[in-house]
Amino acid sequence: MLSTQKIPLYETRKAVCLPLSKKIELGYVAPEAWSNFDTCRRQLSWYEASEFSGRYLLISETNINRYGLDINPSTIISKIDFKPPYLPESNNGKIRQLAERDSFQRVCPAEFKDIASMGEDMQSRWLKIMGIRGITYGDLFVFHCANHANFIEPDYFIDSEEGPIPYSIGKTKQVCSACLQFFNIIGGHFRKKIVVPCPGAVLFAGMAVNQHYQVETANLFPTA
């Protein structure tokens, strides 16, 4: 149908967050793309472990109904003005407590935890690509885990009539694979989330550094 309307459809072959760019009107992520990009392969192992494994992801820069497709959006992403009311202090052990929480450890893929498989050279290369300095990959990884954990069983959230709204617990340089929150692979059981883009989403998709985005769960994909 899209081909008959001559609508350009972009397929990402590397970073799965690329179709979030404002420059791409309509894009999609094929199932194999989640493991094609070395820089993000380990981080995106969550996709294979999720209910979305094997499904295509279609991303539209505007309301997808304008194309006449007989589908409803799963999530709606929009910029918002937001200041986190509370954030964990880096030296009080809270970040490690979140990272070690049972609710996170139970669902976290073994491949995601295996940072040793990257090797020190790859870890250094990743930090360089993302423009991160002054921290070891191992220490940063604990923060990555804690941030994901807060979207599973949140300690940092705001109350609303629709239930708790968890939010990112750090700035762009401190979080990783924000696409997992943007695409509801992590945190999809919440009606809304507030997400800060990771360095990759800034680098590859042109999202704004330290900007907060609301991710509203509009309609989950069917599981059958």
pLDDT tens readout for residues 120-171: 888 888 888 888 888 889 989 999 999 999 999 999 999 999 899 999 999 9
- Specify the pLDDT at position 132: 85
Contacts of 70 (CB under 8 A, 6+ apart): none
pLDDT above 80 for 91: no
- Specify the pLDDT at position 221: 46
* Beta bridge mates, 193: 215
User: Rounded to 5 degrees, what are φ and ψ at 217?
Assistant: -80, 105
Tell me the pTM. Answer: 0.91
Lowest mean pLDDT, pick from 2-6, 195-199, 214-218: 2-6
- Specify the pLDDT at position 224: 38
What is the Cα–Cα distance from 155 to 8, expressed in whole angstroms? 42
In three-state secondary structure terms, 108 is coil
pLDDT above 80 for 222: no
CB count in 10 Å sphere of residue 32: 9
pLDDT above 60 for 223: no
- Specify the pLDDT at position 184: 96
- Specify the pLDDT at position 2: 56
Q: Are 185 and 165 in contact (CB under 8 A)?
A: no
Q: Are 157 and 165 in contact (CB under 8 A)?
A: yes
pLDDT above 60 for 81: yes
User: Rounded to 5 degrees, what are φ and ψ at 174?
Assistant: -100, -15
User: Rounded to 5 degrees, what are φ and ψ at 215?
Assistant: -115, 110
Q: Are 19 and 27 in contact (CB under 8 A)?
A: yes
- Specify the pLDDT at position 66: 74
What is the Cα–Cα distance from 146 to 137, expressed in whole angstroms? 14
What is the Cα–Cα distance from 74 to 147, expressed in whole angstroms? 22
Which pLDDT band holds residue 21 (cuts at 50, 70, 90)?
Answer: very high
* Digit-coded pLDDT (tens) for 42-77: 999 999 999 999 999 999 988 777 777 777 888 999
pLDDT above 90 for 83: yes
Q: Distances from the Cα of 209 to the Cαs of 109, 165, 169, 192, 202, in angstroms?
A: 28, 21, 14, 20, 6
User: Rounded to 5 degrees, what are φ and ψ at 156?
Assistant: -115, 110
* pLDDT higher at 105 or 62: 105
Element (H, E) at 27: strand 26-29
Q: How do beta strands 26-29 and 165-166 pair?
A: unpaired
Q: Which residue is listed with tokens 């629709």?
A: 162
* Beta bridge mates, 10: 27
Return mean pLDDT, the chain: 90
- Specify the pLDDT at position 3: 53
